[in-house]
Amino acid sequence: MNQVDYLRISLIDRCNFRCQYCMPEGAELDYLLKQELLTDEELLTLIQEVFIPVGFTRFRLTGGEPLLRPSVVDLVGKIASLPATQDLSMTTNGFLLAPMAQSLHNAGLRRINISLDSLEADTFDQIIGNGGRSRWQDVWNGIQAAYRVGFDPLKLNVVVIPGVNDHEILNLAALSIDKQWHVRFIEFMPIGNSELFGDLGWVASAELRQQISDCWGLTASQIRGAGPADVFQIPGAKGTLGFISQMSECFCDRCNRMRLSADGWLRPCLLNENGQIDLKTALRHGINTTQLREQVRQLLAIKPEINFKERDSGTTAAYTRTMSQIGG
């Protein structure tokens, strides 16, 4: 079991997209009220007085869509400036990124993951579920802006959906050849979309690797991330290809992270909430941070026993919260 030192922090549960794998059409979305969210002060208190003292040094800001949080640049600056912060990154859909990329970089953000599920505007719009004008170009502009600013590594996340975007695997993989971009293929998961998942199923990472290998060859990369991706490289490519295989190749034994929801719940696992702690309510009721640290330590001690391997016994089939509600 890896040392758990990585916290995914959901800044907001709202999103400006309705992606099929995250918030499918027809899903009942009960957004949090503003007063239900952790305030900036509460979040910073938890980071400085609870999480850092128990060993967390790496933080990823997520959503919903984190760029929708009005104070996001200020928050980035405050978290990045903490002496104990060894790494600060963000996952975004990129739609609002182009005009914000420089400010985020100036504030101290250095790594960014951007969702790019298709290079075809029509397919992209089908996946994100938004009517009206196409949003693909805005996301592409955000990617280009992040690259110009100097985010390194710049990672592109691709959720592979059978019959929707799986015909684009080679085109997406090719983005890693000429630029130091890291394309990560993620297996489609049944979270809040069990009806859609049952119809489409998922494509195993091994199949994608074989397809890419048949075209260019594929070797294990010397560049290693600290997360769940198995990293490979097209020979001679500047970037890498990562495969996150939570459905076909469970990686619970090397998980190094916990998740803090936008309303203050600390959860040990994406699909298993055993042991979760309501930190926001505790803070607002005057529980001191010394007690909260002890609760987090206790959760860390049992984390090796809490994983989503239970999906084999049907746990995920009954899972109703959407990906946006748990921070991805």
How do residues 31-72 score in pLDDT, each as one tens digit? 788 889 999 999 999 999 999 999 999 999 999 999 999 999
- Tokens 């009960």 locate to 30
- C-alpha to C-alpha distance for 158 and 128, rounded to whole angstroms: 12
pLDDT of residue 253: 72
Residue 265 has pLDDT above 90, yes or no: yes
Q: Is residue 62 part of a domain?
A: yes
Strand partners, 40: none
Q: What is the dihedral of CA 226, 229, 235, 239, to 10 degrees?
A: -60
Instruction: Assign 83 a pLDDT band (cuts: 50, 70, 90).
Output: very high
Kindly report, residue by residue over 275-298, the tens digit of the pLDDT: 899 999 999 999 999 999 999 999
pLDDT of residue 9: 98
pLDDT of residue 121: 94
Q: By C-alpha distance, which of 268, 247, 242 is closest to 257? A: 268
pLDDT of residue 130: 66
Angstrom distances, CA of residue 162 to CA of 23, 68, 167, 204, 247: 17, 30, 9, 10, 14
Q: What's the pTM? A: 0.89
CATH number at residue 23: 3.20.20.70
What is the rounded average pLDDT of the residues 234-261? 86
Q: Is residue 191 part of a domain?
A: yes
Tokens of residue 316, six digits: 């995920």
Domain that residue 131 falls in: 6-326
Q: Percent of the chain at pLDDT above 70?
A: 83
Residue 24 has pLDDT above 90, yes or no: no
Q: How many domains does the chain have?
A: 1
- Beta strands (DSSP E) in 144-249 are 154-160, 181-187, 219-220, 230-233, 240-244
Q: Is residue 249 part of a domain?
A: yes
Q: Which residue has the higher pLDDT, 51 or 270?
A: 51
pLDDT of residue 197: 45
Q: Is residue 157 part of a domain?
A: yes
Q: Is residue 1 part of a domain?
A: no
Q: By C-alpha distance, which of 205, 219, 218 is closest to 249? A: 205
Kindly report, residue by residue over 116-130, the tens digit of the pLDDT: 999 999 999 988 886
- C-alpha to C-alpha distance for 154 and 97, rounded to whole angstroms: 13
